[in-house]
Amino acid sequence: MEHTRCLILGGGPAGFTAAIYAARAGLSPVLYEGIQPGGQLTTTTLVENYPGFTDGVDANQLMDAMRGQAVRLGADIRRGSVRPMKITIDAEKEISADTLVIATGAAAKYLGLPSEEKYKGSGVSACATCDGFFFRKRTVAVVGGGDTACEEALYLSTLASKVYMIVRRDVFRASKAMQDKVLSNPKIEVLWNCNTKEVLGDGFGVTGVRLLRKDGTEFDIAVDGFFLAIGHHPNSELFSAYLETDPMGYIVTDGVSSRTSAEGVFAAGDVQDPVYRQAVTAAASGCIAARDVEKYLIEKGL
């Protein structure tokens, strides 16, 4: 049995930032990266909206830099997947901790198409805010019919020359206000009663989408980008029996703090953020979690 003052789960911007701040506070944190080192951010390529990089930065390079900074400051970064509770790593190693920071992130929901997987990061994206900039004055498609899909389509319409919305039913699930904005936007064309059958490409990037109508007929549209907006799923299943979560599975935190419903357990990043889901906000919440951990340990005399 190993013991640490601060255990961090997750190797994305939230986890690494928490490790940086905890290490600088002298807490000698142990961080387990999980099965996707670098987190969800590494599913994209160039990150242009992270502060401090004039020409943008490669996602993997950004996460490697965060990781290296945490290690330099004294964090113990390890590979492994978690089984609760006490924390068990890869069903072999048990660790007890005075505090736990959960920064396991969230995963975008995809359609499950092989062609979608093939072009992920090369025209297929689940984040318009992250990748929309690359499709200025080009044609894109957004899959989904809820508020998120409408928001993504409206955002993309400020950049792209045309936006298709692929909606599997004949109505939106979005609020009336969002529907009105979409339907009154001349750049957005809604394709009702359509499902995506295949993402088309030339081996290098997306060139179109093959759609299946409700009546069984198929047709293709030419697009340069394909955006998924059918929701995210927080990676919180391991903890849902122990912590309060909202109806969507996001870990509930106390106000602006990172405190969860369990004493000594804190949450940071996309696992507790159903709204913003950006690298910079995840990093900020990692800082908050580390500061909350430090304060908690001082108060408890640990």
Predicted local distance difference test score (pLDDT) of residue 193? 97
> What's the sign of the alpha-carbon dihedral 29, 32, 38, 40?
negative
| Entry pTM | 0.76
Kindly report, residue by residue over 168-182, the tens digit of the pLDDT.
999 998 889 899 999
In this prediction, residue 85 carries a pLDDT of 46
Question: Shortest CA distance to 124 belongs to which of 35, 200, 184, 232?
Answer: 200
- Please check the confidence at residue 1 and state whether its pLDDT lies above 50: yes
What is the rounded CA–CA span in Å between residue 299 and residue 295? 6
- Which tens digits make up the pLDDT trace of 249-288? 999 999 999 999 999 999 999 999 988 888 999 999 999 9
What average pLDDT does this structure show over 128-157?
93
Residue 80 has a pLDDT of 79
* Spatial separation of the C-alpha atoms in residues 300 and 167, rounded to whole Å: 53
Q: Is the dihedral of CA 167, 169, 173, 174 positive or negative?
A: positive
Task: Note the pLDDT tens digit of each residue in 94-105.
Answer: 889 999 999 999
Q: Report pLDDT digits (tens) over 20-30.
A: 999 999 999 99
What's the pLDDT at 155?
93
**Torsion, CA 137, CA 143, CA 148, CA 153, rounded to 10:** 20
Surface-to-core class of residue 63, CB atoms within 10 Å of its CB (0-12 exposed, 13-18 middle, 19+ buried): buried
List active site positions: 127, 130-131
For 45-93, write each residue's pLDDT tens digit.
Answer: 678 889 999 998 988 899 999 999 999 999 999 987 765 545 667 767 7
